[in-house]
A and B are shown apart, each in its own frame.
Chain A
């Protein structure tokens, strides 16, 4: 089992390296560069040339990548091309913001989705099941900026309970912070819940048809015990998987929500960096996202292995 885990870790590192190459190559394909972004459209060719030389943009592609990789390996993420500030400083606080918003959403979304998923599975075919399924599908079908705006319309404009913009600043109190970020968090909850709920339902229903669940009924057990003791543990692996996937999405897929609520997170920051062709910032942001994704999926895979009694208790 530890060999399996080591293999997954190795694979994760390889994936991250691949991402760094792809992002690097991707930014080269984009028209324009950081020099023209900084100096604007009216810059003279001479000025652009000087700036490019200063920023090292005229070095060969491979050399620039190797330089970046060397720095990365020694913990130096480089400086922003646009502002000259260290990348780690710029990214750190925004990554923290993104992670906190994701955590806020996940704390609501995951338990709610799993519990609802269990309930709709138990009451399969009932009105409750059907209503929940339609609602879930609706939430998935609507784009998150639309959902976000709907929530703003209700909770900020009509009811006036919550602010429409998620203004946060360093040193604000927890209560303040929660009030400011509830609407974006709710939007993310709605977006991610549907898939987790439906997967929980499907996984559980698949298991409910198994012979050992019938055995449990025929022992005279009542529904809560049958579901929680006999069905759920055997449906855990796919549920853990989809939960991990959605938490990863909460971290990496928040760009639109951050934009709608003007939240100072990493997603929006990265979009800005791309617009400015600020390669070190883009690289670092992309890698942070990719690392979150890889790590969470790895945790899910390892959990699935650990939940399998055949692997935990070999013959």
Chain B
């Protein structure tokens, strides 16, 4: 290996509360090399990426070790050293470009700021280089794009603009922190292909940080697997995927490749919910156009689509939340009023909702017992000892220890919080649970456990699930039937098996083939079948 462009030795980063975020990590990155850093949240991968810029996020401190960029040491080093490296030699691309752009400034100015500030280019040079990057990254209307404000362009475009902004000084190293995670699968492919093309074209080295092994497999030469701030193993991408040495890595690889069903396909019971020609309006915008569906007792129906497809609106409409909707809904043979205020207490009880973000869905000042106990009081009038027993039973049902009852949500992990949300829904003894992206905020292995829990509960209690998700891998494993939505309309509906069996067609096919697979040649294969449309960037 040639002399590394980035050399990190024995990196120690300490959180404000004194916790060690990384314990003695070594990283070597050769010029032009792409190194994947992979792990769950809390693995320390973003921390390492930011350390390459000599930066600790949110009061975190680089408390030990050295960081050298080319032959310049920035940790330990002076502020001046770090400032001269940041943006110029090492540049950062954040997960959420929407938050990472200054909302009050035009994109074009922000994209050239680093080049002008570091004095690496004159303004005309910087603008010419920016415009070249805009073209390479295939941003729309390249002439007017720099004049736009962040809120005027889409998420996928912002992510590409952020990459162009990072390239402003022609850095040696890009730190890519989950650059495609917030994007829809079809958009993710575009950004991934363009990013790979860009890195190859300009010979830029990169740290690619992600929790998605399949994504990183398409772009990196080597992979480091991290957990709890320590290295689990590292090797070439090929070796990690095909011959993982450590048990943890094997589980990661297996989880992502899992296709076996968590529950046997059932023949649906009597119809519990039907929706006919549902329309929902937000002001002048129509979010749903004539959506119809049926759901039987004990059945799981997955609603699949990308952002803006209306899948969450559909969930909210069935829960009775949107202020204005038209159409007909029936629940267990009775008319289901459009607004939850008009529904009977019993109807409200029988339809429960579990949200995407357990952090936000739980009141941080209520104990778990209060959170789970509330529906028991409300619907079944339980008090005192009966209530405490009910809470204990529910905690056991969702696989949480009984002593969690006295805790506050803040003391729980993400997966445990989501289990509490499930327990709260179960407390009402519902017939239907609407699961709105319940696993998408969780780490893969934790998400897997929550899915298994949901499958088990369904089998024990004959619950019907309406499973809203963008994750097709999950759908395939848990849903009996699948409904694909795009721009507020149903584009396809049928048994999951049928939907996922080739030949696929149209939008559904595009969605299915866009899900990254655990093969190094997956992206190349996809590009070959889709033709050269995406690949002009190379």
Contact = CB atoms under 8 A, between A and B. Distances in A.
B91 interface: yes
Nearest to B104: A233
Interface residues of A, number: 23
B57 interface: yes
Contacts of A68: none
A216 B101 CA distance: 9
A225 interface: yes
B87 A220 contact: yes
Interface stretch (B113-121, B245-253, B264-272, B489-497): B113-121
B86 interface: yes
Determine which residue in A212, A216, A309 has the highest number of CB atoms from chain B within 10 A of its CB, and name it: A212
Contact of B100 (A214, A307, A309, A313): A214
Contacts of A225: 117
A203 B99 CA distance: 17
Contacts of A215: 92, 94, 100-102
Given A217-B55, A313-B152, A212 B87 contact: no
A310 interface: yes
A225 B86 CA distance: 15
Interface string A210-248: 111011111111100100011001100000000000000
B117 A313 contact: no
A313 B87 CA distance: 28
Contact of A234 (B82, B84, B85, B102): B102
Contacts of A3: none
Interface string B65-108: 00000000000000000111111100110101001111111000
B55 A218 contact: yes
A234 B86 contact: no
A211 B94 contact: yes
B103 A211 contact: no
Contacts of A230: 102, 105
B86 A218 contact: yes
- Contact residues of A: prevailing secondary structure: helix
A310 B151 contact: yes
Contact of A222 (B58, B83, B91, B99): B83
Interface in B146-185: 149, 151-152
Contacts of B113: 219, 221
Interface string A185-210: 00000000000000000000000011
A212 B83 contact: no
B423 interface: no
A212 B53 contact: no
Contact of B96 (A211, A219, A233, A310): A211
Given A310-B151, A315-B151, A218 B53 contact: yes
A222 B118 CA distance: 11
Interface string B22-63: 000000000000000000000000000010010101100000
Contacts of A221: 83, 87, 113-114, 117
A219 B99 contact: no
A212 B96 contact: no
A209 B99 CA distance: 11
Contact of A219 (B57, B105, B114): B114
B104 A220 contact: no
Nearest to B115: A219
25 contacts: A209-B58, A210-B99, A212-B99, A212-B100, A212-B101, A212-B102, A212-B103, A214-B94, A218-B55, A219-B87, A219-B113, A219-B117, A220-B82, A220-B84, A220-B88, A220-B114, A220-B118, A225-B117, A233-B102, A307-B104, A310-B103, A310-B149, A313-B152, A315-B151, A315-B152
